[in-house]
Amino acid sequence: MKRARAVAAGPGRVRIIAGRLRGSKLAVPDLPGLRPTPDRVRETLFNWLAPTIEGARCLDLFAGTGALGIEALSRGAAQATFVERDPRLAAALRDNLARLGQAGGSVECVDAAAFLRGSATPFDLVFLDPPFADARWTDAATALEAGGWLKPGALIYVEAPADAAPALPPAWTPHREGRAGGVRYALYRRGGAIR
Q: Spell out the SS3 assignment of 11-31.
A: CCEEECCCCCCCCCEEECCCC
| Stated pTM of the model | 0.88
3-state secondary structure of 123: strand
Block means of pLDDT (10 residues each) for the chain, 195 residues, are 38 81 84 75 94 96 93 96 94 93 96 95 95 81 95 94 87 93 92 53
Instruction: Give the model's pLDDT for residue 192.
Output: 53
Question: In CATH, what is the architecture of 13-190?
Answer: 3-Layer(aba) Sandwich (3.40)
Instruction: Give the model's pLDDT for residue 33.
Output: 59
Residue spans of the domains in the chain: they are 13-190
Q: Please list, in sequence order, all residues whose beta carbon lies within 8 angstroms of the beta carbon of residue 32, skipping any fewer than 6 positions away.
A: none
Instruction: Give the model's pLDDT for residue 2.
Output: 45
